Protein backbone atom coordinates (compact mmCIF):
# COMPACT_ATOMS: atom_id res chain seq x y z
CA UNK A 1 0.00 0.00 0.00
CA UNK A 2 1.16 3.50 -0.69
CA UNK A 3 -0.27 6.89 0.02
CA UNK A 4 -1.39 8.74 3.08
CA UNK A 5 -4.27 7.38 5.16
CA UNK A 6 -6.53 9.72 7.14
CA UNK A 7 -8.10 8.11 10.18
CA UNK A 8 -11.21 10.15 10.96
CA UNK A 9 -12.79 10.09 14.40
CA UNK A 10 -15.71 12.12 15.69
CA UNK A 11 -15.78 12.30 19.47
CA UNK A 12 -18.33 13.37 22.08
CA UNK A 13 -17.82 12.73 25.79
CA UNK A 14 -15.56 9.71 25.24
CA UNK A 15 -12.87 10.46 27.82
CA UNK A 16 -13.57 7.11 29.44
CA UNK A 17 -12.63 5.12 26.34
CA UNK A 18 -10.81 7.17 23.69
CA UNK A 19 -7.37 6.32 25.13
CA UNK A 20 -7.89 2.70 24.06
CA UNK A 21 -8.78 3.92 20.58
CA UNK A 22 -5.63 6.06 20.58
CA UNK A 23 -3.38 3.16 21.55
CA UNK A 24 -4.80 1.13 18.67
CA UNK A 25 -4.00 3.95 16.24
CA UNK A 26 -0.49 4.48 17.60
CA UNK A 27 0.18 0.73 17.30
CA UNK A 28 -0.23 0.70 13.50
CA UNK A 29 2.76 -0.59 11.55
CA UNK A 30 1.96 1.45 8.43
CA UNK A 31 3.41 4.85 9.23
CA UNK A 32 1.98 7.19 6.59
CA UNK A 33 -1.20 8.15 8.39
CA UNK A 34 -2.79 11.08 10.12
CA UNK A 35 -5.48 10.86 12.75
CA UNK A 36 -8.04 13.63 12.66
CA UNK A 37 -10.18 13.77 15.78
CA UNK A 38 -13.05 16.23 15.78
CA UNK A 39 -14.53 16.96 19.19
CA UNK A 40 -18.27 17.58 19.08
CA UNK A 41 -18.47 19.90 22.10
CA UNK A 42 -17.63 17.45 24.86
CA UNK A 43 -18.28 18.42 28.47
CA UNK A 44 -15.94 15.81 29.98
CA UNK A 45 -12.13 15.62 29.67
CA UNK A 46 -12.25 14.42 26.04
CA UNK A 47 -10.86 17.63 24.53
CA UNK A 48 -7.89 17.61 26.91
CA UNK A 49 -7.13 13.99 26.02
CA UNK A 50 -7.45 14.68 22.30
CA UNK A 51 -5.02 17.57 22.61
CA UNK A 52 -2.60 15.33 24.50
CA UNK A 53 -2.64 12.87 21.58
CA UNK A 54 -1.76 15.73 19.22
CA UNK A 55 1.13 16.74 21.48
CA UNK A 56 2.31 13.13 21.61
CA UNK A 57 2.39 12.62 17.83
CA UNK A 58 2.51 15.26 15.10
CA UNK A 59 0.35 13.06 12.86
CA UNK A 60 -2.65 13.75 15.09
CA UNK A 61 -4.88 16.74 14.30
CA UNK A 62 -7.17 17.89 17.11
CA UNK A 63 -10.14 19.94 15.92
CA UNK A 64 -13.23 21.26 17.69
CA UNK A 65 -16.48 21.36 15.73
CA UNK A 66 -17.02 24.98 14.75
CA UNK A 67 -20.35 24.83 12.94
CA UNK A 68 -23.77 23.24 13.10
CA UNK A 69 -25.43 20.86 13.05
CA UNK A 70 -23.98 18.97 15.99
CA UNK A 71 -23.24 15.30 15.45
CA UNK A 72 -20.89 12.69 14.11
CA UNK A 73 -21.69 13.37 10.45
CA UNK A 74 -20.72 17.03 10.72
CA UNK A 75 -17.53 16.07 12.56
CA UNK A 76 -16.62 13.57 9.86
CA UNK A 77 -17.21 16.18 7.16
CA UNK A 78 -15.01 18.68 9.00
CA UNK A 79 -12.24 16.08 9.17
CA UNK A 80 -12.51 15.28 5.46
CA UNK A 81 -12.22 19.01 4.70
CA UNK A 82 -8.99 19.09 6.73
CA UNK A 83 -7.06 16.33 5.03
CA UNK A 84 -5.20 15.80 1.80
CA UNK A 85 -4.88 12.06 2.33
CA UNK A 86 -5.25 9.51 -0.45
CA UNK A 87 -7.36 7.15 1.67
CA UNK A 88 -9.98 7.64 4.37
CA UNK A 89 -10.75 5.36 7.30
CA UNK A 90 -13.68 6.17 9.57
CA UNK A 91 -12.95 5.06 13.12
CA UNK A 92 -15.45 5.82 15.86
CA UNK A 93 -14.14 6.87 19.26
CA UNK A 94 -15.17 3.58 20.86
CA UNK A 95 -13.59 1.35 18.19
CA UNK A 96 -10.15 -0.21 17.85
CA UNK A 97 -8.08 -0.26 14.69
Strand order in the sheet with 87-90: 60-64, 33-39, 5-11, 87-90
User: pTM for this one?
Assistant: 0.96
Helices 46-56 & 18-26, crossing angle to 10 degrees? 10
- Summarize pLDDT for 38-95 with one digit per residue, the tens: 999 999 999 999 999 999 999 999 999 999 999 999 999 999 999 999 999 999 999 9
**CB–CB of 85/6 below 8 Å?**
yes
For strands 87-90 and 60-64, give the pairing: unpaired
For strands 33-39 and 60-64, give the pairing: parallel
The pLDDT assigned to 2 comes to 83
Amino acid sequence: MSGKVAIITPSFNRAYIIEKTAESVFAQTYGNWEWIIVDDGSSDKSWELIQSFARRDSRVKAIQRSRYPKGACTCRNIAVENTDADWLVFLDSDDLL
